[in-house]
Amino acid sequence: MPIYQYKHPDTGEIFEEIRKIKDRNKPFTSEDGKKCKRLEIPTRFSGWKKNKEVFEADGDYVKKCRPKNIKFNDGHIEKYDPTKHC
């Protein structure tokens, strides 16, 4: 099941919750009883940021995969080096 993020309307605090896809748009109720709407664009996904390379965003996953090469966001490819790329 995927993890969804919900933002508190008053405090701006972001909550993460594992839910079924069909329940993703149901509001999350915080401890103080406020209904929190789902963020359409998550603030993070396993540390993923748009401007980061994949090995910067989730280095542990890349190490587990042990790729031969790494493709960068700008399109160039380098041979994978776990000491350099993670």
- Residue that has been written with the tokens 């603030």 in this structure: 43
Burial class of residue 55 (count of CB atoms within 10 Å of its CB; 0-12, 13-18, 19+): buried
Contact 86, 55 (CB under 8 A): yes
Domain coordinates in residue numbering, the chain? 3-38, 54-85
Nearest of 27, 44, 45 to residue 36 by alpha carbon: 27
**Over 80: is that where the pLDDT of 52 sits?**
no
Q: For the chain, what percent of residues have pLDDT higher than 70?
A: 87
Nearest of 52, 1, 67 to residue 16 by alpha carbon: 1
What is the rounded average pLDDT of the residues 37-44? Answer: 77
- 62 confidence band (pLDDT: 50, 70, 90): confident
What is the rounded average pLDDT of the residues 17-37? Answer: 93
